[in-house]
Structure 1
Amino acid sequence: MGNCFRRSQRISEIPKAGSFSFPASASTTTHTTSTENRERESHPLPVPTGSEKSSSHSRAGSLPNPRSEFEILSSPDLKSFLLSVLEEATQNFCNLLGEGGFGCVYKGWLDRDTLTASNPGSGMEVAVKRLKLRGVQGHKEWLSEVKFLGQLHHPHLVKLTGFCLEGDHRLLVYEFMPRGSLENHLFRRKTNSPLSWEKRMKVAVGAARGLSFLHNCNPQVIYRDFKASNILLDSEFNAKLSDFGLAKLGPTGDHSHVSTQVMGTQGYTCPEYMTTGRLSAKCDVYSFGVVLLELLTGRRVRDKSLGQGYTLIEWVRPYLHEKRAVSRIMDTRLEGQYPQNAAFFAASLAYQCTRPETKRRPDMAYVLEILEQLQSPKCNSNNRRSSPSLLARDSNLTNNKSPKPGQVRRVSDWSHGFECLG
């Protein structure tokens, strides 16, 4: 897990990363101010807009807008489980998948039709997250997950099946993600078959679709804890965002940001949010850029091998001025099996996302369209070494310039766009 913190913490006090990377956050519990309480209660829950609203996967708009805890927990799409049922489903919480700041996650089995406990190996596999009674992430974050995942439905958001609220016990029941987290595949799993270029791009595109969906909701949803350990993978390596304990409704009207207590994960959190507490969707864009760099390099954002005081962002910057130089930052486990030009533009895009100036970062719609082009078959030809697979004439990428603030340029509208070569 990453390191979650409050702004009041000194760096030396930030806890070390845990060993768990399933959907359990290591975020720090904070007390919500009365202003924030009023803000949370006054906002309706997000409803997808535009094309997202018509998607068969996006059913949030058909639900009532809960404003109280009772209404949130009364969501018709969620099952309220008895503790005894989840104890039986997990063999009395014996099938441990991992542990994080929130608590422990166990594997369980439920009957697909009745959602009652089933025998191991039969029925539907689920992941059951159990809150530690004195964990660092409390009831507020637990309720936040129920609130958002109970209303938001999308192929790239992990599905919340239900919850348990019984006495002091707080549990969440998710769909089981057999491939675990992206963090496991990039940094923890010792294997002779690392993620291929195609799988890395598939993960990047899927995660970008999830974030883009959240940012297009009305009101906007800011994820606030985008990192490799919160990206889960199904059997086909489709990426899904998990752990919505820190998610927050974004600004409305003419406001550019919301002000809130700083929470997040060290290395993934954008500088302006850390210093001012001003939160916007561009904070998620920054975090996405960090994860994209991790996908390309196979290195953590805070890799000790980079040298004291160096972050991954600072380390890659000198290599983004020439396509050939990008090979020096790419994950050596790829063994050169990637399209050089596509890798260069992906790295340049990651750099755009992590610019310190908020207004110079692209939005997720722009990021997603670029990644979808880089993922296309013509841009990933088998002859990776001898011929370029992508020709870019976009000066914004080649010169590391972002679109103008608020500008989202569709690919079909570009006068100097991308041209994939066969």
Structure 2
Amino acid sequence: MRMVDIIQRKRDGGKLTREQIYYAVEGFTRGDIPDYQMSAFAMAVFFRGMDEEEIADLTMAMVNSGDVVSLAGIRGVKVDKHSTGGVGDKTSLVVVPLVAAAGVPVAKMSGRGLGHTGGTVDKLESIRGFRIELPNEQFVRNVNENKMALVGQSGNLAPADKKLYALRDVTGTVNSIPLIASSIMSKKIASGADAIVLDVKVGSGAFMKSLDDAKALASTMVSIGKSLKRRTIAVLSDMSEPLGTEIGNANEVAEAIELLRGGGEPRLKEICLTLAAYMTVAGGAYPDVAAARRGLEELLQTGRALETFRTFVEAQGGDPAIVDDPGLLPQPAVTVSVRAEQEGYVQSIDAEAAGIAAMMLGAGREKKEDAIDYAVGLSLRKKVGDPVKFGDVLAVIRSNREQNQDIAETILRAYTIGAEKPEPVPVVHAVIE
């Protein structure tokens, strides 16, 4: 078997066999197949696509390229959640303790942020003492005792995907649905979950800008899960504006705590309850989504979800006092109010621009090796549909920089204000099972 023959077959629109796909992935992972041939392979897939069987084979080839986590020691149906990335997306900080409070075990591996999208690991590390790396025995013990644990992704989890993604990033082949779907699902399958709920973001702040593309990606990932005997559900959620009111790390943890306390911004609460409902139904805690919504609302109102979060933080070495006093989280040296220069209604907020502004402050990474400043970020005081008067505060910049004029100008450009109040956009567009 030769790699050039595999490239030519896919280039010409042919279907690849399981053996050919494994040959390509295994050879590339070992270093036997050079970058230039794998780049050509990725470009052929970008233009010619793959059918469901090919995508499933590619996913499993990447799963088997490294470690596969065994969750056999964890009792019950293990449910995992994955977000395709967005701005202000702190849903895992709410959803995981909420699902755990309902009695469904969540053994979650999460990633760090890159570019304009944030990462759950970075947010949790803003809590003093919090350990994102746990020995496997403690990871399993925490889930059995507390129904939840959250750690950083293993370095040898789907290494083929890590190598291939680095190539896709520099060869213009990132936005390929077969490659995106197999990339995401390989890590979820390797993480050992029995059921997976996918939060597929769509809009200006997401990688999928159009609803049609997001539906195609979601359908592909659900098909992969089904073919690999994993119950998989995809929720298509809106990212045309930032999620919630906070963008950053420590401030997003504080916002998650507020929601777990029974408050929270309505759109953020809605997507969190939706994701948690499908996760708890998949885990057997409730018979259907309607019953799950009622039960989860009660867990928020009674404080059980908040106490589960407190136990989780303490179990992983974090300071549980932040639950009662979020002011103990890292705070910025400077706050700058960005004020409206006209009256009307907020028509839109460019989520990607807001995410980039937060990254420029130090809340995110432009390159993987960049350090994070946990204290900085943005607090949005006006959301889409809100009335605005001249001089009203649109957003507050949380900064450790002396000069913030460039950030203020970026935020002003991100807001569109017009005379008419816009029609509300649903936070959940569709669910694919």
Do both proteins adopt the same fold according to a TM-score greater than 0.5, normalized to the shorter chain? no
Higher helix share: 2
TM-score, length of structure 2 as denominator length: 0.29
| Larger relative contact order, structure 1 or 2 (CA cutoff 8 Å, min sep 6) | 2
